[in-house]
């Protein structure tokens, strides 16, 4: 299972390729496919570990991305997240996830979600459950070892 990662301070998303002695080797999901090391000092988050706040339980990110994919027919987002107003972002997100927690989910979270969605779609990843959902007992280290 491929692991999609977000690295604090670095734009875009990355795919875990391998694991070195003191680092992870990741590949950018953009057109460059540039490989680079990520060290223990970098804050790395698997998209499978992220959830969105709702009025009830938190919803895994892959499920929210699937909802966006259904709305957009697995094409890039129809909303320009860079230029959209707060009202437009919130109206769009209400269509995607009707019971989202409007106090705890910020406009920047919605923008990040749409940015990640577009990156994933451009990279040909549209089955978000298979690509992002962690399996039982799954963590980054286990997946890194399996990738070697």
Q: How far apart are CA 144 and CA 148, in angstroms?
A: 7
pTM equals 0.85
The CATH class of the 4-47+135-147 domain is mainly beta
CATH 1.20.1260.10 fits 49-129, yes or no: no
Domain extents in the chain: 4-47+135-147, 49-129
Q: Under DSSP, is residue 100 helix (H, G, I), strand (E, B) or coil?
A: strand
DSSP element (H, E) containing 92: helix 86-96
Q: Which whole-number Å values give the CA distances from 115 to 1, 14, 50, 74, 81, in the listed order?
A: 22, 13, 15, 14, 7
Q: What is the pLDDT along the chain (148 residues), one digit of tens a residue?
A: 358 999 999 999 999 999 988 999 999 999 999 999 999 899 999 999 999 999 999 999 999 999 999 999 999 999 999 999 999 999 999 999 999 999 999 999 999 999 999 999 999 998 888 877 765 544 544 444 433 3
Q: Give the angle 100-63-113 at the CA atoms, nearest 5°.
A: 65
């Amino acid at each position: 299972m491929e692991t999609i990662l977000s690295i604090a301070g670095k734009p875009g998303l990355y795919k875990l390729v391998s694991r070195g002695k003191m680092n992870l080797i990741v590949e950018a999901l953009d057109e460059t496919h540039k490989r680079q090391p990520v060290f223990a000092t970098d804050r790395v988050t698997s998209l499978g570990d992220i959830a969105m706040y709702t009025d009830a339980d938190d919803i895994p990110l892959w499920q929210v991305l699937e909802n966006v994919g259904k709305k957009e027919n697995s094409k890039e987002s129809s909303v320009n997240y860079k230029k959209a107003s707060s009202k437009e972002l919130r109206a769009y997100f209400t269509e995607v996830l009707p019971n989202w927690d409007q106090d705890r989910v910020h406009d920047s979270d919605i923008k990040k979600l749409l940015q990640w969605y577009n990156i994933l779609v451009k990279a040909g990843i549209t089955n978000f459950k298979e690509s992002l959902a962690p399996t039982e007992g799954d963590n980054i280290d286990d997946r890194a070892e399996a990738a070697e």
